[in-house]
Chains A and B, each alone.
Chain A
Amino acid sequence: MFAWLNQIVQVSWMNLKNIPQRAGASLVIVVGIAGVVGVLTAILSMGAGFRATLGNAGFEDRAIVMRNGATSELSSGLSREQADVISGAPGIRRDANGKPIMAAELLVIADLPKASTGTLANAAVRGVQPGSFLLRPEVKITQGRMFNFGTREVIVGKQAAMQFSGLKLGSRIAFRDSDWSVVGIFEAGGSANESELWADAEVVQSTYRRNGFQSVSVALENKSALKTFKDALTADPRLQVKVSTMKQYFAAQSEVMSKLINVLGYSVGLIMAVGAIFGALNTMYAAISTRGREIATLRAIGFGAMPVLVSVLLEAELLALIGGAIGALLAYLLFNGYTAATLGSNFSQIAFDFRVTAALMGQGMVLALAIGLIGGFFPAWRATRLPVATALRAE
């Protein structure tokens, strides 16, 4: 066993030291694998970023109430009376004055020009109440000020301000035949709320000629209070509603898009990986065939076929590892934090940052090693199966 290991170490060390002398062939493997890992990681980072953005808005001690059967806020509807009934349910956390921390909100769409193309796109306008801010303490005004209730003033989420033109602090925007002033820019901990415009719910209602709301969000006393809250609402004959934690709600919202991105990512990654495997195979075959006589000489002298095989594989894996690391690093440097926008399930733009996470980079490295293993194994296997006497005569 020791002799066997010793042979592996000796032959591998010799091979590795000589990689610079085979720079061209080695570079082809490294670049090919870097490309696969880079593209796969970048595509999947889109899904990770999208999930994180929607997931950020979801906390387990917050609940959202919508009409039964609604799949998103846009398809939901609750009357003022229903909102009042919900506010009296048990399980809602209360503020210092004993008032329930909750907000009945409506979500409407405004057509605004996109900053990138100038074409009109759907911007989400959320009509909020004072409770909306208590519910979401992560919302912070970073520029300007809070809007005054009862006026046509809006505050704009950080991502929305970047995605749409004309949403700079102090600018005036027109939608639904009315003029609105942008008085503040806010952040919301990287959540989907950052892609929205917030204004007084009552003013939004009057502008859009609506009476009711679309959802009621509440802060729960704690995670376990959800059951009390939910049971009370579902048992109430005046309400036909569904209750979910915000985490559940946003998970459901992001599901379709995440799946799409993952399917896209993995299928593109798979196609590229197959290409890279053949590329690596080709290169490794070429590399091994030029060293066929070297390998045969080593075997004639007394080195075993297995140590030679393992050493060639180690070389392939090292190159794959370097390629994988370069690909993952490039994906990180180029795409981590890159902002993109897509249509959310409320038919409004949701901006999100690509997230090149450690897990994704790890996944890329595993793929790189798999390509190296497959690409290296067959030529190495062939080289060591060839009879020594035949291989010694090979040119």
Chain B
Amino acid sequence: MDALVSLVSIRNLVKTYQRGPEKIEVLHGIDLDIPRGDFVCLMGPSGSGKTTLLNLIGGLDSPTSGQIDFDGKRIDQMSSSKLTQWRANHIGFIFQSYNLLPMLSALKNVELPLLLTKLTAAQRRHNAEIALQLVGLKDRIKHKPSELSGGQQQRVAIARAIVSDPQLLVCDEPTGDLDRKSADEILSLLTQLNQEHGKSIIMVTHDPKAAEYAKRIVRLDKGTLVAASA
């Protein structure tokens, strides 16, 4: 697969962290392609570099060396402010602990990414309602996160991730804090977004059952890709 057909193309990616006087290389020259419409699961033991790789793909961090192309554009050379803008336009984030703003209602949380657009307040509200409807929470729009179950909170987070219509959803242990039933519902929702709405998804998980929902699994160990399976 070359960079032209891939949504994400990663070449020889290295990430090193400085911890005191010591340099720790977390990723040692990763090559990876994620085609459009893919649902890829990143797995591996703790400390294998999954989250680091996910953060680099999502533009939350910059690599030490190597190249990341997203939709034909290099993001590894972007400045911090350009990268921030790029994230707003292309990436939807779903975190393990939802990261909703506790004082905002579900609707206002979902509207957040739209505050960065030129949409009017009415348009923002309309789009946020549609996103909440899509995740099955139309009747909970006025509820604050503390008034929702874990599964519902993660649905709100998913609505927030998709409301600005990004190409890629970056999910970091999206079901890590949920019971099996809620986890399955969230994973079904992600599958639906992938299959029916064409969203590309990259997901980090420790849970083999969650990984079964993905189209393919990429395994990392000690900063190196060890295997990929369909």
Whether B70 sits at the interface, judged by CB under 8 Å, is: no
Closest partner residue, chain A, to B81 (CB atom): A304
Q: Are B93 and A303 in contact (CB under 8 A)?
A: no
Which stretch, A62-70, A147-155, A180-188, A387-395, touches the partner chain B? Answer: A387-395
Which residues of A sit under 8 angstroms from B104, Cβ to Cβ? 14
Residues A302 and B85 in contact in the complex (CB < 8 Å), given A3-B116, A7-B115, A10-B115: yes
Residues A301 and B93 in contact in the complex (CB < 8 Å), given A6-B115, A7-B115, A392-B60: yes
Q: Are B101 and A297 in contact (CB under 8 A)?
A: yes
Q: Are A302 and B101 in contact (CB under 8 A)?
A: no
Residues A302 and B84 in contact in the complex (CB < 8 Å), given A3-B116, A6-B115, A7-B116: yes
Whether A168 sits at the interface, judged by CB under 8 Å, is: no
Which residues of B sit under 8 angstroms from A301, Cβ to Cβ? 87-88, 93, 112-113, 116, 160
Q: Are A302 and B116 in contact (CB under 8 A)?
A: yes
Whether B226 sits at the interface, judged by CB under 8 Å, is: no
- Chain A CB count within 10 A is highest, among B52, B60, B104, for B60
Contact of B93 among A14, A21, A294, A300 (CB under 8 A): A300
Q: How far is the CA of A6 from the CA of B117 in the complex (A)?
A: 9
Distance (whole angstroms) from the CB of B117 to the closest CB of chain A: 9
Interface string of A300-325 (1 = CB under 8 A from B): 11111100000000000000000000
Whether A299 sits at the interface, judged by CB under 8 Å, is: yes
- Tell me which residues from 14 to 33 in chain A have a Cβ below 8 Å from any Cβ of chain B: 14, 17-18, 21
Distance (whole angstroms) from the CB of B21 to the closest CB of chain A: 19
Closest partner residue, chain B, to A296 (CB atom): B99
Distance (whole angstroms) from the CB of A389 to the closest CB of chain B: 4
Contact of A389 among B55, B102, B115 (CB under 8 A): B55
Whether A293 sits at the interface, judged by CB under 8 Å, is: yes
Q: Are B99 and A387 in contact (CB under 8 A)?
A: no
Q: Are B84 and A299 in contact (CB under 8 A)?
A: yes
Q: Are B112 and A298 in contact (CB under 8 A)?
A: yes
Q: Are A300 and B60 in contact (CB under 8 A)?
A: yes
Q: How far is the CA of A304 from the CA of B103 in the complex (A)?
A: 21
Distance (whole angstroms) from the CB of A149 to the closest CB of chain B: 79
Q: Report the interface size for chain B: residues with CB under 8 A from the other chain.
A: 25
Which residues of B sit under 8 angstroms from A392, Cβ to Cβ? 60, 95, 99
Q: How far is the CA of A389 from the CA of B55 in the complex (A)?
A: 7
Interface string of A265-303 (1 = CB under 8 A from B): 000000000000000000000000000011011111111
Which residues of B sit under 8 angstroms from A305, Cβ to Cβ? 80-81, 84
Q: How far is the CA of A304 from the CA of B95 in the complex (A)?
A: 20
Contact of A300 among B81, B87, B89, B101 (CB under 8 A): B87
Whether B61 sits at the interface, judged by CB under 8 Å, is: yes
Residues A303 and B84 in contact in the complex (CB < 8 Å), given A6-B115, A18-B103, A21-B103: yes
Q: How far is the CA of A389 from the CA of B61 in the complex (A)?
A: 7
Interface string of A82-103 (1 = CB under 8 A from B): 0000000000000000000000
Q: Are B60 and A303 in contact (CB under 8 A)?
A: no
- Tell me which residues from 57 to 91 in chain B have a Cβ below 8 Å from any Cβ of chain A: 58, 60-61, 80-81, 84-85, 87-89
- Tell me which residues from 371 to 395 in chain A have a Cβ below 8 Å from any Cβ of chain B: 387-389, 392
Distance (whole angstroms) from the CB of B94 to the closest CB of chain A: 11
Q: How far is the CA of A17 from the CA of B105 in the complex (A)?
A: 13
Distance (whole angstroms) from the CB of B81 to the closest CB of chain A: 6
Q: How far is the CA of A303 from the CA of B103 in the complex (A)?
A: 18
Which residues of B sit under 8 angstroms from A302, Cβ to Cβ? 84-85, 87-89, 113, 116
Closest partner residue, chain A, to B52 (CB atom): A389
Which residues of A sit under 8 angstroms from B103, Cβ to Cβ? 17-18, 21
Which residues of B sit under 8 angstroms from A303, Cβ to Cβ? 84, 116
Which residues of B sit under 8 angstroms from A304, Cβ to Cβ? 81, 84
- Chain B CB count within 10 A is highest, among A6, A10, A303, for A303
Interface string of B118-140 (1 = CB under 8 A from A): 00000000000000000000000
Which residues of B sit under 8 angstroms from A298, Cβ to Cβ? 112
Which residues of A sit under 8 angstroms from B88, Cβ to Cβ? 301-302
Q: How far is the CA of A294 from the CA of B113 in the complex (A)?
A: 14
Distance (whole angstroms) from the CB of A23 to the closest CB of chain B: 12
Distance (whole angstroms) from the CB of B202 to the closest CB of chain A: 15
Q: Are A297 and B99 in contact (CB under 8 A)?
A: yes
Which residues of B sit under 8 angstroms from A388, Cβ to Cβ? 60-61
Which residues of B sit under 8 angstroms from A21, Cβ to Cβ? 103
Q: How far is the CA of A299 from the CA of B115 in the complex (A)?
A: 13
Which residues of A sit under 8 angstroms from B58, Cβ to Cβ? 300
Residues A387 and B93 in contact in the complex (CB < 8 Å), given A10-B115, A392-B99: no
Interface string of B38-59 (1 = CB under 8 A from A): 0000000000000110010010
Q: How far is the CA of A21 from the CA of B104 in the complex (A)?
A: 11
Q: How far is the CA of A305 from the CA of B58 in the complex (A)?
A: 17
Closest partner residue, chain A, to B100 (CB atom): A297
Closest partner residue, chain B, to A22 (CB atom): B103
Q: How far is the CA of A167 from the CA of B102 in the complex (A)?
A: 68
Q: How far is the CA of A298 from the CA of B93 in the complex (A)?
A: 11
Closest partner residue, chain B, to A393 (CB atom): B51
Q: How far is the CA of A145 from the CA of B77 in the complex (A)?
A: 92
- Please name 9 pairs of A and B residues whose Cβ atoms are closer than 8 Å in the assembled complex, sorted by A: A7-B116, A14-B104, A18-B103, A294-B99, A297-B99, A301-B113, A302-B88, A303-B116, A392-B60
Closest 4 pairs (CB-CB, A-B) = A302-B88, A297-B99, A389-B55, A10-B115
**Known A300-B60, A303-B116; 6 more pairs at CB < 8 Å:** A6-B115, A14-B104, A301-B93, A302-B85, A305-B80, A388-B61
> Which A residues are within 8 Å of any B CB, using their own CB?
3, 6-7, 10, 14, 17-18, 21, 293-294, 296-305, 387-389, 392
